[in-house]
Amino acid sequence: MAIRQPVVSVLGHVDHGKTKLLDRIRGTAVGDREAGAITQHIGATEVPIGRIYEMCGSIIGSKKFTVPGLLFIDTPGHQAFTSLRARGGSLADLAVLVIDIREGLMPQTIESIHILRQYKTPFVIALNKVDTIEGWNSTADRPFVLSEKDQQAHTKEVFEQHMYEIISQLSGNGVFADRYDRIDDFTKAVALIPISAKTGEGVPDLMLMLIGLAQRFLETRLTKEEGPGKGTVLEVKEVKGLGQTLDMILYSGTLKTGATVAIGTRGAPLVTRIKAILKPKPLDEIRDPRDRFDNVKELHAAAGVKIAVQDATGVIAGAPIRVVKNAKDPSIQEITEETSIKIETEEKGIT
């Protein structure tokens, strides 16, 4: 059975390095074109499995995966994340909680832990900014487990002190975590991966960990559904020449031009039609900046895409979107329930 890429969200306290990590991942995703076809996305970055094999080099051993890659949502802490659904396919299949190794747990770190718990999203922790540890000897893009071997005894000691302080803070917040390479049972402990978003050290370990968890624990969830498309709206935008557009993540099923969709609003779901499905063109094929998209007839999960719709009145970021048969489709009721969960969460101040 074919499986799709897991959708991965990045969360954490302000300034702990979410944006920098996503920038590094975008750089990584481009990499060497030989490593696999690069699929362009809106609002998300895909790291194909071929690229992950290449990045990990020796640390991957003889492991083989059927997960085709990872799809990272580009906007950190995006409010759409809070619309994760309480049941069934939520927006993010996996999450990365970023913690600055010198700062430790801060209010938004704790809030992120609560959100992840509430939605039962499996996550790993990226202990970021290892390069700022006194005396740290950096080698760009190296797996952490190799990089660590090159450090002086004193530097290693300082690093371990910071790490254990964070492990103890996490345990105070009910999260049992350990260094990923010291965990025997991933159902019992949350993996900590030391990284530097600046130098790229540890990023291969992070990718490998996410792929490994997806393969081991999410296979059923990631099995490709050929049914009607289901997704989440990231942004609503009026675009010259295209009219109302929605940037969205399609996490399950298929989307077709001309299909009827139901979308969450603060009131009753909006039922409208997809006028066009727009995928960004590869950079080297853009000759005119006004001609940035390719029109596609059909799209399969998981993907980040822009769609032009007949109407987007009242649509909110984070709203669920689904392909439906018509305005009487019973699944529209589920949209109403999901949207009310989102609004309730927003009103509690969880964003």
Give the type of residue at 296.
V
78 catalytic, yes or no?
yes
CB of 320 to ligand GDP, least distance (A): 26
Q: Decide: is 139 part of the binding site for ligand GDP (CB under 6 A).
A: no
Tokens of 96: 């990365």
- 17 touches ligand GDP by CB under 6 A: yes
75 labeled part of a ligand binding site? yes
Q: Cα-flanking dihedrals φ and ψ of residue 7, to 5°?
A: -90, 125
Number of CB atoms found within 10 A of residue 302's CB: 24
- Under the binding rule (CB under 6 A), the answer on residue 128 touching ligand GDP is yes
Q: Is 256 assigned to a binding site?
A: no
Check residue 45 for interaction with ligand GDP (CB under 6 A).
no
* Cβ-based neighbours of 95, under 8 Å, separated by 6 or more: 8, 9, 10, 11, 116, 121, 122, 123, 124
Q: How many helices (H) and strands (E) does the chain have?
A: 8, 16
Residues 93-122 that bind ligand GDP (CB under 6 A): none
Task: Tell me the Cα Rg of the chain.
Answer: 21
Complex with ligand GDP: residue 108 or 310, whichever CB lies closer:
108
Instruction: Identify residues 71-90 at the interface with ligand GDP (CB under 6 A).
Output: 76
300 binds ligand GDP (CB under 6 A): no
- Number of CB atoms found within 10 A of residue 123's CB: 23
By beta-carbon proximity to ligand GDP, the closer residue of 20 and 156 is 20
Q: Which is nearer to ligand GDP, 16 or 342 (CB)?
A: 16
Asked if residue 196 binds ligand GDP (CB under 6 A), the reply is yes
How far apart (Å, rounded) are the C-alpha atoms in residues 142 and 19?
20
Tell me whether residue 32 is annotated as binding: no
- Number of residues written out for the chain: 351
Among 3, 9, 11, 18, interactor with ligand GDP by CB under 6 A: 18
Q: Which of 118, 132, 223, 333 binds ligand GDP (CB under 6 A)?
A: 132
Instruction: In whole angstroms, give the CA distance from residue 248 to residue 235.
Output: 7
Compute the distance between CA of residue 185 and CA of residue 223 in angstroms, rounded to an integer. 24
Catalytic machinery residues: 78
Q: Which residues are annotated as a binding site for GTP?
A: 12-19, 74-78, 128-131
Q: Which residues are annotated as a binding site?
A: 12-19, 74-78, 128-131
